[in-house]
Homo-oligomer: A and B are copies of this chain.
Amino acid sequence: MNLGPIDHVQAQWQTARPELDTRSIAVFGRIDRLSKLAQAEGKKLLESLGTSPWEYEVLVTLRRAAPDFELAPRQLSEALLVSAGALTNRLDHLERAQLVERHPDPTDRRALRVRLTPRGRARADELVDAYLRRERALLDGLNARERRSLEGLLRKLLMTVEPVVTA
């Protein structure tokens, strides 16, 4: 049994506060750490390709909104779990870089439609290829059965967590 940083955390609690039930740390501590490590690694990759995580997220979210590559800012902020103000800022940058365009919504004059430009689409395609290749490499340690099992358990956990936060 190879001991990782989270096992160490649990062992420390066992000494410091033996009565504490730290079983949840074995799950959420690892999820948190995996997320941070994968993000740090993804950031390095994206920066080597001349972009950043926040730019990448917007581009690929629009890219998979085929066939028209359009979404409202509101939809983007909900999908990415960031505030509306953050999105305005990201769109300003992306529009200056001519990767997206803001168009008025024909049915609601309060709203916008954010659309990927051809350049933005090409950029998104290039980036997502590299990004997914890297993610697959990080999954190398698991075989197909383990990966599917992990996937199913995460889906089930997410089903519990999602409504709690949305509520």
Contact = CB atoms under 8 A, between A and B. Distances in A.
Interface of A: 2, 4-7, 9, 12-13, 15-17, 20-28, 30-41, 63-67, 79, 81, 125, 128-129, 132, 135-142, 146-147, 149-151, 153-162, 164-165
Contacts of A79: 5
A155 to B, nearest CB: 6
A136 to B, nearest CB: 5
A5 to B, nearest CB: 7
Contacts of A151: 26-27, 30
Given A35-B35, A142-B156, A155-B4, A165 B12 contact: no
A138 B157 CA distance: 8
Contacts of A39: 32
A158 B39 CA distance: 13
Copies in the complex: 2
A27 B154 contact: yes
A137 to B, nearest CB: 8
A64 B164 contact: no
B38 A161 contact: yes
A141 B157 contact: yes
Enumerate the 9 nearest inter-chain pairs by beta-carbon distance, A residue then B residue, closest first: A141-B160, A35-B35, A24-B135, A16-B66, A12-B64, A30-B154, A150-B153, A26-B151, A37-B165
A27 B150 contact: yes
A78 to B, nearest CB: 10
Nearest to A139: B24
A98 B56 CA distance: 41
Contacts of A23: 136, 139, 147
